[in-house]
A and B are shown apart, each in its own frame.
Chain A
Amino acid sequence: MITPTTEAPVAAPPTQRLRPATRRRVKALSLHTASIAVAAFIVVPIAFGVLGGFKDNGQLATNPLGLPSPWHPGNYTDLLISGEFWRQVGNSLLIALGTVVLVVGAGAMAAYVFARFAFRGREVLFTLFAAGLMFPFAVAILPLFILLRTFGLLDNPLGVILPQAAFGLPLTIIILRSFFRTIPAEVEESARLDGCSAFGFFWRILLPMSRPALATVSVLAIVASWNNFFLPLVIFNDQTWWTLPVGVQQFQGQYATDTARVLAYVVIAMVPALAFYAVAERQLIGGLTAGATKG
């Protein structure tokens, strides 16, 4: 949603018509310098990690920034052939998918009611849901732990999936409700005239028409779940259930003295998130800006 509108200033930069070329060049140069400086601020730590993973610890001490010589791919290959990393990826994936199905399913149903039915108390109810947006996970984590322990959901993926879905509901409902409202009432009326039930309309017409919005909320839920650390940290004692963030943190504690190996793990752990960002950038950014302006 960013790209199309950015073109406008390029087409007609009004200030530049009147200015001499040299001044324009100075301006462009300073803009580039600033951008490159910030880009370096972002890239250099990551490059340090990527290159550091190819060094041994002796090289890291003497030469933290330069290229490795010789290159030691061992840190990376060891991790990639160990089952640990892949199991953590699998756990993170399973939990993310479970969360998405639940939060989008339950959220879409509720958003449909909030968007399409008129009844007393609707707005109060909606406000209650929306208010959940302000309450961070950290606030509820301790009682949540006690509650899930009572339910016997510790060391169970549902112990992470269910709370994540519950805390993801506010944003999902807010975004979906405002999208559902843009679908013309005539569509629903004609579907109903043709004998569609409320559920039939929801399932066969509303959801298929709302694919872009569903994609947006799914992407947001996946990213939130993938990066969640606090909840899996307290729920999973059994390390076969550890997700990637928990695994990275534990690995770092375990190999505290082997910096190069930890760097390699961090870098490998970045790849799925960055790959997902590359694929879903539009939904992610669109969803975040929409979520912020709506919430």
Chain B
Amino acid sequence: MPRETTHGPEASARTRTGPPALSPVPTQNTPRPATWPAAGSAPRAPRRLPRHNVVAIALFLAPASLLFVLLVVTPILLAMYTSLFKWNGFGIPADFIGLGNYTRLLDDTVFVGDLKRGAILILLSLVFQLPMALGLAMLLNQPLRGRAVYRVLFFAPYVLSEVITAVLFKLVFSPNQGLANKVTSWLGLGDLGASWLADPSWVLYSLFIVITWKYFGFHMILYLAGRQSIPNEIIEAAEVDGASVWKTFRYVTLPLLGPTIRISVFLSVIGAIQLFDMVWVLTGGGPVNASETMAVTMFQFGFRRFEVGYASAISVAMFLISLVFALLYQRYVLRRDTEGAVTTMGARR
């Protein structure tokens, strides 16, 4: 199957030897496949570029650039601009208030609460969801009857939309007809009654259960792919040397899974920053903002209360938080793994 040779070996080779996937400079001393097209045809410093090439480059890049500039870059710039106004979204923004929306943001208990709740969700993911995914990946890497079925099953919720997941769980958590209450009373935990989604001190954990239900399979699949790119000889060597199962995992497998784990943490955090669909459908952010996220707050102000200027400031805050996080993470955590990837400017290394 050609399809298997495309990603499988390529991806595993990369993880094993750690050459940059998106290495910007072709002549780096990394084990670049012999097929690297520029090796003969395009020298490092582009010299003469025939005119027809310039035309071809421009034509080939035009559709993507147009879409990207118009619908990704412009909106972000537009949000930066409108965030400086008190504006209801209609007509031309005129009431310039400088950074007023941003100072308001910092005093807004809901927005500050969004940050706190986001941090709690991220923390819960790091402590429960990702270790669970890692454990299951290790488990499904064992010889185990039916593990192909388990793998397909565990990943299945990922393909469902967040809306469908949220509606389903809204009914699972429903106080009278719901499943969750029956299960907890069977387990002897008592009847939690309406508290799953209606109790402000509990709703965030219910939300986290739903997030885990939907997303642990995705992280598990990443870890499985990472584990399978580790040559079994290395694991076997540790075992032959007398390392226990735990020590083999702790000192051999886990460090070699490092790149995968760091990526999975990254995706988990970015996912938490943008969380909207699931919260909006499950709780609408309530009760009393107890499950609200930044995106929900932005939606409330932008599309419900028509405080578009203020909502733009929230958008920009989300953008900056993602950007700063991505840059710092790239700089300090991913540095070793994905040289030249996303945020690293090509020329820097």
B196 within 8 A of A: no
Number of A interface residues at 8 Å Cβ cutoff, please give it: 136
Complex CA distance for A8 and B12, rounded to whole angstroms: 14
B325 CB → nearest A CB, Å: 8
One of B57, B75, B342 near A144 (C-beta < 8 A):
B75
Complex CA distance for A12 and B139, rounded to whole angstroms: 16
Complex CA distance for A288 and B221, rounded to whole angstroms: 9
Contacts of A179 in B (CB 8 A): 6
Q: Are the C-beta atoms of B159 and A276 separated by less than 8 Å?
A: yes
Contact with A along B1-42 (1 / 0, CB 8 A): 011101110111011000001101100000001011111111
Q: Are the C-beta atoms of B22 and A273 separated by less than 8 Å?
A: no
Q: Are the C-beta atoms of A262 and B171 separated by less than 8 Å?
A: yes
Contacts of B64 in A (CB 8 A): 106-107, 109-110, 129, 169, 173
Q: Are the C-beta atoms of A285 and B221 separated by less than 8 Å?
A: yes
Q: Look across to chain B and name the residue whose beta carbon is closest to the beta carbon of A167.
A: B72
Within 8 A of B (CB), among A218-246: 223, 226-230, 234, 244-246
Which of B76-84, B187-195, B249-257 touches A?
A: B76-84
Contacts of A284 in B (CB 8 A): 159
Contacts of A244 in B (CB 8 A): 161
Q: Are the C-beta atoms of B67 and A286 separated by less than 8 Å?
A: no
Report if A123-B24 is in contact (Cβ < 8 Å); known contacts: A15-B239, A42-B154, A230-B276: yes
Q: Are the C-beta atoms of A293 and B15 separated by less than 8 Å?
A: yes
Query: Given known contacts A130-B342, A132-B72, A145-B302, what 15 new A-B pairs fall within 8 Å (CB)?
Result: A2-B221, A42-B154, A138-B318, A139-B76, A141-B315, A166-B68, A181-B37, A185-B40, A212-B6, A245-B277, A273-B160, A281-B152, A285-B155, A289-B7, A293-B338
> Footprint of B on A, CB under 8 Å?
1-6, 8-10, 12-15, 28, 31-32, 34-35, 38-39, 41-46, 48-49, 52, 57, 60-61, 64-65, 102, 105-107, 109-110, 112-113, 115-120, 123-147, 162-163, 165-167, 169, 173-174, 177-179, 181-185, 188-189, 198-199, 202, 211-213, 215-216, 223, 226-230, 234, 244-246, 248-249, 252, 259, 262-263, 266, 269-270, 273-274, 276-277, 281-290, 292-295
Some 30 contacts from A to B, beta carbons below 8 A apart, are A1-B7, A2-B225, A13-B143, A15-B245, A35-B139, A35-B144, A45-B172, A48-B171, A65-B179, A65-B182, A106-B64, A107-B64, A110-B64, A118-B46, A127-B342, A130-B341, A130-B342, A131-B343, A136-B273, A136-B318, A147-B70, A162-B67, A198-B52, A198-B56, A227-B159, A230-B295, A234-B303, A252-B167, A286-B6, A295-B342
